[in-house]
Amino acid sequence: MGLQCCLGGTALHTLKLAAIPSSSTSSSSSSSCRFVFGPLSRAFTSRFLSRHNRSQRPPFLLPLRALSVSAAPPTKTSPDEKVAKPQWKAAIDFKWITDNKDAVAANVRNRNSNANLELVLELYEKMLDLQKEVERLRKERNAVANKMKGKLEPSERQKLIEEGKNLKEELLSLEEDLQQEAQCIPNITHPDVPIGGEECAITRKTVGSPCKFSFPVKDHLQLGKELDLFDFDAASEVSGSKFYYLKNEAVMLEMALVNWTLSQVIKNGFTPLTTPELVRSSVVEKCGFQPRGDNTQVYSIEGSDQCLIGTAEIPVGGIHMDSILSESSLPLKYVAFSHCFRTEAGAAGTATRGLYRVHQFSKVEMFILCRPDESDFYHEELIRIEEDLFSSLGLHYKTLDMASGDLGAPAYRKYDIEAWMPGLERFGEISSASNCTDYQSRRLGIRYRPSEPSGATPKKGKSNLAPPQFVHTLNATACAVPRMIVCLLENYQQENGCVIIPEPLRPFMGGLELIAPKSR
């Protein structure tokens, strides 16, 4: 058995929308993602190695879902076209923002946000005034109608109707402008988060020490070339820069990392998922990402409202969109496998070469929905799981409490884990864990109803149910495969050119203990 997956796309920042042939319906259902939680057989490994020694390529069988080459015709966009206003509303607490405008303004500055708080406050004040005017006009119209007992002159009636219609249209436009500006305001920040840029991050923990080598250290690119594990040149011709083929034991290593990580995280009560890898652009926006713009990290599908995901956080966050959960169902803990796609706009230099920064990769992501009073607890649980995983693999790493200027808009607090990469001669980020509080749930419309009934006496005909509240969401990377491969190859390299496989992964690689140079 192997991992069956669906891969597709091109190197263009705007992709053509490929149609799935109707004939593939039955086959696609049978090629859904499946994971192997048991170890590979030793018979498979011996066959793999014996074929390898004869300089033959092993026949990895990875069935792919077929995509037709037909594409939707491109849509032309005028260079003068304005940015579309959001077609959805976030449940933003404007009264809280108004009452705490000084704290919100300081938070916007500390996070280097381009949000225009003054404009938001101005638009909100105008909206309140306009709402009062609409209500005044409604009362006036009702009073006149009652006074005339339905005998209002047609011209007077039409005048009132037109006036009300114009006010409502003005109010709707104002609300759209307010939403567009307010959605740029970042989440509030945990009081213990250090203020400043990336250099102000605080080290919470350091585990292990750098490996000591008695021979010249190679980076993962050189190791991959000598061990015949990657092919960047062919991928560049097929797809463009920052794409790659994994080969031979590197394929087995990816499968082992994914399956071992899933098996470990599931032990902590997480439900495993595979996710859609195309989502609506509105869901991307609701999760706090910008699907369009000069420096977007998101690939958009031309002629549609869909995007390729940059992380499973997006489709997992959308599972319970626009729903009210029961308190007894919380927390909901998911661990999702997906392929991820990122434009990596602006990324360049030797520090991003090879597998370190690529356009497409496999990742295992953890996601939690919980009560507001529990999100700090589950944030600590997520970082503990990550640390346990990386400690089990014998990595030297440090955990950082990231500074305010390095937080994405949804994050209330974010921990990063950076591992030592000998070939790059530096620490590199391999994981992060973020508490997004109710930033995403207010946009996605995910609430829960407390089990305790409301203390107030219900009005006649009304229930005593407690009003629903917004859940808190958290996400964390359990395994970003390419960077894990970088760490393992560079830290476990040997003087004879071999790379040792860490013990926890060996049962998932059929007992394979090391990757050896190929015999010629």
Domain closes at, from 130, 149, 184: 184
Is residue 327's pLDDT more than 80? yes
Instruction: Tell me, yes or no, whether 110 lies in a domain.
Output: yes
Do residues 457 and 327 lie in contact, with contact meaning Cβ atoms separated by under 8 Å?
no
Question: Which pTM does this prediction carry?
Answer: 0.80
- 358 labelled binding-site residue: yes
The 10s digit of each residue's pLDDT in 189-211 is: 999 999 999 999 999 999 999 99
Kindly state whether residue 178 falls inside one of the protein's structural domains.
yes
The answer on 252 and 344 residing in a single domain is: yes
Residue 132's pLDDT is what? 87
Distance CA 514, CA 520 (A): 18
Percent of all residues in the chain with a pLDDT value above 90, rounded to a whole number:
65
Q: Is 365 annotated as a binding residue?
A: yes
Known binding residue 141? Answer is no
In a domain, 432, yes or no: yes
In this structure, the answer to whether residues 140 and 279 fall within a common structural domain is no
Judged against a pLDDT cut of 50, whether residue 20 lies above it is answered with: no
Annotated ligand binding at 359? The verdict is yes
In a domain, 500, yes or no: yes
Q: Are residues 444 and 498 in the same domain?
A: yes
* Pick from 45-59, 96-110, 408-422: least confident: 45-59
Per-residue pLDDT at 147: 61
* Sheet with strand 469-470: strands edge to edge: 323-326, 446-449, 469-470
Q: Phi/psi zone of residue 55: left (φ > 0), alpha (ψ -120 to 50 degrees), beta?
A: left
State the average pLDDT over residues 207-218: 95
Please report which confidence band the pLDDT of residue 62 belongs to, taking 50, 70 and 90 as the band edges. very low
Query: Contact, 100 vs 93, CB < 8 A?
Result: no
Helix/strand/coil (H/E/C) assignment for every residue in 453-493 = CCCCCCCCCCCCCCCCEECEEEEEEEEEHHHHHHHHHHHCE
Q: What's the pLDDT at 172? A: 87
Tens-place pLDDT, residues 429-486:
999 999 999 999 999 999 999 987 655 566 665 667 899 999 999 999 999 999 999 9
Q: Of 184, 219, 235, which closes a domain?
A: 184
What is the per-residue pLDDT for 152? 60
Say whether both 127 and 265 belong to one domain: no
Distance CA(516)–CA(519), nearest Å, equals 9
Give the structural domain span for 147.
94-184
Q: Say yes or no to pLDDT of 420 above 50.
A: yes
Q: Which residues contact 402 (CB under 8 A, 6 or more apart)?
A: 193, 198, 201, 413, 414, 415, 416, 432
DSSP 430: E
| Side-chain-facing half-sphere of 207: CA atoms under 13 Å | 19
pLDDT confidence tier of residue 376, bands split at 50, 70 and 90? very high
429 carries a ligand binding annotation: yes
Residue 513: how many CA atoms within 13 Å on its side-chain side? 0
Q: Verify that 176 and 239 share a domain, yes or no.
A: no
Contact predicate 229/254, CB 8 Å? no
More confident residue, 116 or 171: 116
pLDDT exceeds 70 at position 29: no
Bigger pLDDT: 474 or 9? Answer: 474
Whether 221 and 363 share a structural domain? yes
The whole-angstrom separation of Cα 93 and Cα 306 is 29
* Tens digit of each residue's pLDDT (9 = 90 or more) over 462-471: 667 899 999 9
**What is the pLDDT confidence band of residue 74, given thresholds at 50, 70 and 90?**
very low
Domain count, the chain: 2
Q: Is residue 57 predicted with pLDDT exceeding 70?
A: no
Read off the pLDDT of each residue in 362-383 and give the average, rounded to a whole number: 98
| Bridge partners (DSSP) listed for residue 515 | 499
In a domain, 287, yes or no: yes
Distance CA 225, CA 245 (A): 12
The most confident of 80-94, 121-135, 282-296, 337-351, by mean pLDDT: 121-135
| Per-residue tokens: 379 | 């944030």
Question: Interior CA angle at 516 toward 511 and 519, to 5°?
Answer: 125
| Spacing of C-alpha 23 from chain mean position | 32
Residues 383 and 260 in one domain: yes
Whether 501 is in a domain gets the answer yes
| Residue numbers annotated as active site | 342, 357, 429, 432, 483
Same domain, 138 and 229: no
| Predicted pLDDT at 148 | 57
Q: Is 475 annotated as a binding residue?
A: yes
Any bridge partners for residue 324, and if so which? 447
Q: Are residues 293 and 438 in the same domain?
A: yes
How much is the pLDDT for 154? 73
Q: Are residues 348 and 382 in the same domain?
A: yes
Is-contact 3 34, C-beta < 8 A? yes
**For the chain, how far is it from start to end, CA to CA, in angstroms?**
30
**CATH number, domain at 104?**
1.10.287
Of 127, 154, 184, the last residue of a domain is 184
List all residues 6 or more positions away from 431 whose beta carbon is below 8 Å from its beta carbon: 386, 390, 416, 417, 476, 477, 478, 480
**Inside any domain, residue 6:** no
343 has binding-site annotation: yes
Q: How many CA atoms lie within 13 A of 271 on its CB side?
A: 12
Phi, psi of 124 (to 5 degrees): -65, -40
Q: For the chain, give percent helix, strand, coil, nearest 5.
A: 40, 20, 45
- The pLDDT, as a whole number, for residue 56 is 39
- 360's enclosing H/E stretch is strand 360-370
Asked if residue 372 and residue 262 are part of one domain, the reply reads yes
Residue 39 has pLDDT above 70, yes or no: no
The answer to whether residue 32 sits within a structural domain is no
What CATH number is attached to the domain comprising 221? 3.30.930.10
Domain co-membership, 249 together with 360: yes
